[in-house]
Chains A and B, each alone.
Chain A
Amino acid sequence: KNEVEQSPQNLTAQEGEFITINCSYSVGISALHWLQQHPGGGIVSLFMLSSGKKKHGRLIATINIQEKHSSLHITASHPRDSAVYICAVRSLQGAQKLVFGQGTRLTINP
């Protein structure tokens, strides 16, 4: 079993829909990151969380440390949100390395 599991692996939705991507992890962490990867391969950091909730524009990220679970929400989704979204945790073991989920491929159709 992977230390970081994301669901769903693929998600297709219509423009305007509310999107939720989930991430569960099995190790103790100091922080959790949500990343966005576009088709060219470059990665942008969206959020870093250690507790609670963060909001940036139409993006909301939450984390429940006790349940070892995080969610990324996109409100009023748009085709430009189409990308791979990756959850990564900074494990308490392993010298500040990031452990990555498999990613969720999101496609928003106009």
Chain B
Amino acid sequence: SAVISQKPSRDICQRGTSLTIQCQVDSQVTMMFWYRQQPGQSLTLIATANQGSEATYESGFVIDKFPISRPNLTFSTLTVSNMSPEDSSIYLCSAGTEVAFFGQGTRLTVV
């Protein structure tokens, strides 16, 4: 099993600013995933992050808005850039391709 520590757990941010979310895994994992969950909706995959390569973004998500870093096999960050109220969501990181492990989520409110 793996334990994923995600922070911050929540934040309230001003529009136009950026927030970086961090995920630390207690073991080495090849692939990490970043998801967004808008209010009342299910999870939507933003991008897949492999160590040592550019993240792969899903349709509707771009690197300029959601830059991702994956400097090693235990850590990744997602930045939500130039935020607007529409970015208010829960953001989750995940790891594991067999059993799915998730971080605790970051509840972001943009005002």
Contact = CB atoms under 8 A, between A and B. Distances in A.
Interface of A: 31, 33, 35, 40-45, 48, 86, 88, 90, 95-98, 100-103
Contact of B92 (A41, A45, A95): A41
In the A-B complex, the 4 residue pairs with the smallest Cβ-Cβ separation, listed nearest first, are A41-B105, A42-B104, A43-B102, A41-B90
A91 B62 CA distance: 23
B13 interface: no
Interface of B: 9, 31, 33, 37, 41-45, 48, 90, 92, 94, 97-107
Classify the interface of chain A: helix, strand, loop or mixed: strand
Contacts, number: 55
B97 A40 contact: no
Chain B contact surface mostly = strand
Given A96-B31, A101-B42, A40 B9 contact: yes
Nearest to B103: A42
Given A100-B43, A103-B42, A42 B100 contact: no
Given A95-B48, A101-B42, A88 B104 contact: no
B94 to A, nearest CB: 8
Given A95-B48, A98-B33, 19 more contacts: A33-B99, A40-B105, A40-B107, A41-B9, A41-B92, A43-B102, A48-B98, A48-B99, A48-B100, A86-B43, A88-B100, A96-B31, A96-B97, A97-B48, A98-B45, A98-B100, A100-B42, A100-B43, A102-B42
Nearest to B104: A42
Nearest to B99: A48
Contact of A41 (B45, B48, B100, B104): B104
A45 B101 CA distance: 7
A45 B102 CA distance: 8
Contact of A33 (B42, B44, B100): B100
Given A97-B48, A103-B42, A41 B37 contact: yes
